[in-house]
């Protein structure tokens, strides 16, 4: 997906969290290399702090995802924010928040391109 959008200046935050029975530790180097790009920052969130916060802040004008919840925790989800968006006391409204990521990769790339071009 990052190759699709080329060298556009984006920041990607990948938050790994334990959701499946096999997720008992932080991701290994093998897993982390899946997103080998200078624009990606990867984090291990064993207590689901980010996912829970995203669930709390998922109210208008924030679009609501139609998938990706397990035991009340969001996962396998992508959120695209417009340039300059800041997460302060509340998550900014995303232009896209949905998943599973593998199924919406093209839509993510399209939204990033559109946001970067001001559309």
Domain residue spans in the chain? 12-117
Above pLDDT 70, what percent of the chain?
A: 96
**For 32, left (φ over 0), alpha (ψ -120 to 50), or beta?**
alpha
Q: Above 70 in pLDDT, residue 15? A: yes
CB 13 within 8 A of CB 41: yes
Predicted confidence (pLDDT) per residue in 21-71, tens digit: 888 899 999 999 988 899 999 999 999 999 888 877 766 677 778 888 888
pTM metric for this prediction: 0.82
Q: How many CB atoms within 10 Å of residue 1?
A: 17
């Amino acid at each position: 997906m990052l190759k699709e959008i080329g060298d556009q200046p984006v920041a990607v935050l990948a938050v790994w969290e334990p959701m499946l029975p096999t997720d008992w530790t932080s991701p290994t180097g093998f897993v982390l290399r899946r997103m080998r790009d200078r624009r990606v920052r990867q984090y291990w969130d064993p207590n689901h702090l980010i996912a829970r916060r995203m669930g709390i802040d998922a109210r208008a004008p924030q679009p609501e995802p139609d998938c990706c919840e397990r035991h009340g925790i969001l996962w396998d989800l992508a959120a695209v924010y417009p340039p300059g968006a800041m997460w302060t006391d509340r998550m900014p409204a995303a232009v896209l928040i949905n998943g599973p990521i593998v199924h919406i990769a093209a839509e993510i790339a399209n939204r990033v391109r559109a946001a970067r071009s001001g559309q």
